[in-house]
């Protein structure tokens, strides 16, 4: 991970810096959760969870509704008491520390700006609560507004700003007092797609420039892939996999991860007697080189759409029929139904003509582009 430049204009404490010391060989742990869990009556909404977040890291907590990601966030920021386990921040036990004493900044989905205060007054509010001297406060507010590109909007009120500008104000208000940890709870959920993508780039830039440690909660897989240093994917109250976006996408540990992140084609079956093929409803499929498979075990071959190709009938592969096409500019997405009823998604980006709906095709892939997973 690239070390950010130190921004002295934002420091309210000269002994604290978002940037790690150049002498550090490895990033230190900013937050460590040890066996953190939460139970309501007999229902365990968060199973005992271990999680380490490095200083300066942007970790995205991703998962469907009910996966436990919001409960984890609430425990981290002190809004919910864990049933068991402990939480360390900068090496200090903060498990039972009240929320207002945890030195954390939170950016909400609805921005939570004061409508009767100007942009500068909104950003200055956390510094005023910390009784910062007026001359220092003014300089810090001006510095952070310039960082988020709103220096010329300091006298405007929130109602006079666009959604994206309001989100920048919320980010500036969080950054100005330099909390130990920044928590973002689906902050882009209320924005339209184009503005959301613009704000993703903005958050990446601010993270790179400040070196802040950020925990970003979302249910949007594309957002997680675009933003994260690492992704923590949750399901059913526990962590399914933690890794870089590339690891999660290309090397999923199970079919849930493969199916949740991006589009995956999943072909289920049982490992054949020879151990080198998967017997499915659509025939015997060769498993990837080096994959560990036990005869008779239920497994699945997972292939991403970009690793599939289509050809006219008579070529080697699985026979199917194109049932739908979706034009997306740089690519055409083909939905191909196999004889078993399984529908495969193929990303067709070649210069050759795309098959039409109803056309018979053969689908094939490089065996080592597939991943064999237990089911």
Angle at 171 between CA 31 and CA 74, to 5 degrees: 40
d(CA 279, CA 272): 6
Query: What does the pLDDT read at residue 6?
Result: 34
Condensed to tens digits (0 to 9), the pLDDT of residues 348-369 reads 887 778 899 999 999 999 999 9
| Exposure string over 296-335, b if 16+ CB within 10 A, otherwise e | eeebbbbbbbebbbbeeeeeebbbbebeebeeeeebbbbb
pLDDT of res. 20: 39
Contact 219, 64 (CB under 8 A): yes
| Confidence at residue 58, expressed as pLDDT on a 0 to 100 scale | 96
Tens of each residue's pLDDT in the chain, 375 residues? 444 433 333 333 333 333 334 444 457 899 999 999 999 999 999 999 999 999 999 999 999 989 999 999 999 999 999 999 999 999 999 999 998 888 898 888 777 899 999 999 999 999 998 888 998 999 999 998 988 889 999 999 999 998 888 988 988 898 888 888 999 988 887 778 887 888 888 889 888 888 889 999 998 999 999 999 999 999 999 999 999 999 999 999 999 999 999 899 999 999 998 888 999 999 999 999 888 888 999 999 999 999 999 999 988 899 999 999 998 888 899 999 999 999 999 998 877 788 999 999 999 999 999 999 988
On whether the pTM is more than 0.85, the answer is: no
Do the beta carbons of residue 360 and residue 282 sit within 8 Å?
no
Q: What is the C-alpha R_g of the chain? A: 25
| pLDDT given for residue 185 in this prediction | 87
Q: 75-127: per-residue pLDDT in tens?
A: 999 999 999 999 999 999 999 999 888 889 888 877 789 999 999 999 999 99
User: Inter-axis angle of helices 193-210 and 134-147, to 10 degrees?
Assistant: 130
For the beta carbon of residue 90, count every other beta carbon within 10 angstroms.
Answer: 15
Q: In this predicted structure, what is the pLDDT of residue 12?
A: 36
Question: What pLDDT is stored for residue 119 in this prediction?
Answer: 95
């Amino acid at each position: 991970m690239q070390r950010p430049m130190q921004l002295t204009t934002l420091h309210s404490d000269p002994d604290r810096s978002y940037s790690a010391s150049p002498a550090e060989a490895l990033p230190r742990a900013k937050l460590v959760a040890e066996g953190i869990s939460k139970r309501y009556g007999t229902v365990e909404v968060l199973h005992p969870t271990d999680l380490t977040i490095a200083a300066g890291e942007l970790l995205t907590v991703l998962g469907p509704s009910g996966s436990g990601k919001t409960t984890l966030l609430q425990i981290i920021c002190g809004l919910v008491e864990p049933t068991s386990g402990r939480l360390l921040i900068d090496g200090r036990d903060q498990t039972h520390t009240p929320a207002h004493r945890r030195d954390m900044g939170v950016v909400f989905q609805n921005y939570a700006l004061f409508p009767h205060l100007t942009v500068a007054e909104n950003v200055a509010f956390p510094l005023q609560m910390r009784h910062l001297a007026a001359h220092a406060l003014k300089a810090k507010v001006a510095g952070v507004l310039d960082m988020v590109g709103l220096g010329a909007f300091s006298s405007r009120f929130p109602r006079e700003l666009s959604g994206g500008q309001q989100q920048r104000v919320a980010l500036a208000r969080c950054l100005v007092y330099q909390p130990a940890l920044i928590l973002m709870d689906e902050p882009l959920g209320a924005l339209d797609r184009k503005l959301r993508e613009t704000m993703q780039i903005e958050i990446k830039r601010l993270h790179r420039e400040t070196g802040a440690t950020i925990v970003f909660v979302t249910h949007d897989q594309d957002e997680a892939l675009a933003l994260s240093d690492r992704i923590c994917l949750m399901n059913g109250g526990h962590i399914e996999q933690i890794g870089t976006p590339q690891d999660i996408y290309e090397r999923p540990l199970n079919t849930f991860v493969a199916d949740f992140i991006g589009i995956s084609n999943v072909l289920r079956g049982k490992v054949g007697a020879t151990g080198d093929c998967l017997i499915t409803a659509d025939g015997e499929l060769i498993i990837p080189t080096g994959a560990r498979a036990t005869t008779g075990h239920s497994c699945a071959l997972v292939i991403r759409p970009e690793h599939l190709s289509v050809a006219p009938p008579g070529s080697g592969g699985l026979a199917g029929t194109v049932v739908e096409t979706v034009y997306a500019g740089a690519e055409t997405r083909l939905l191909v139904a196999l004889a078993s009823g399984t529908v495969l998604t193929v990303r067709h980006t070649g210069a050759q003509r795309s098959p039409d709906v109803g056309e018979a095709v053969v689908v094939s892939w490089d065996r080592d582009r597939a991943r064999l997973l237990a089911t």
